Every structure is written in structure tokens, then in C-alpha cells.
Amino acid sequence: MIVKVCVGSSCHLKGSYAVIENFKKLIEKYNVSDKVELQASFCLGRCSTGVTVLADDRFIDGVNENNTEEIFVKEIMSSLK
């Protein structure tokens, strides 16, 4: 799965750097580095609900520093084969 975290200006201001750092740690913690590829992305066009994450072709809105793990488990781990 390719997980793109928006680093456009709006999402950047809402903490996308911290979200990326959290995702990196979670990928290690859950030992899924062979299944999840983390990328940064330019604006994904959903600035008002950012930080925006795109997991393959599925948008996940409202990610922040504090809910990253919850979202990772619910939206990403559950979709991995």
C-alpha cells in the first residue's frame, strides 16, 4: 500500500511533518515496512479537512499528531493483506 501524506501549505501548518514522523514509527512498530510505502505529496485538494492522507486510492481526512496511531490501525493495518 502506498500511503501519501499531504505536505501542501495548509496541511503543513496543521502538522503533516509530525504525522509523517508518527507514521514512520508506526510502520516500524507494527513491522509493516515491506507492505507500506510512505510518501509525501503536494496538495491533495482537500485542504479544509487536512491533514489529508491518501492510502492507495482512499482519502483519509483529519489526520493529526494525536490520532495518527488510531487511524493507522483502523484505516491502514486493517486493509493490509
- Residues at the site binding ligand FES, with contacts judged by CB under 6 A: 6, 8-11, 43-47, 50, 52
Pick between residue 11 and residue 27 the one whose CB is nearest to ligand FES. Answer: 11
Q: In the block, which residue shows the cell 501542501?
A: 8
Q: Which is nearer to ligand FES, 30 or 50 (CB)?
A: 50
Residue 10 vs 64, nearer CB to ligand FES: 10
Q: Which CA distances in Å does 10 have to 73, 78, 79?
A: 25, 28, 27
Give me the least distance between CB of 12 and ligand FES, in Å please.
7
Taken in order 74, 20, 46, 14, is the CA torsion positive or negative? positive
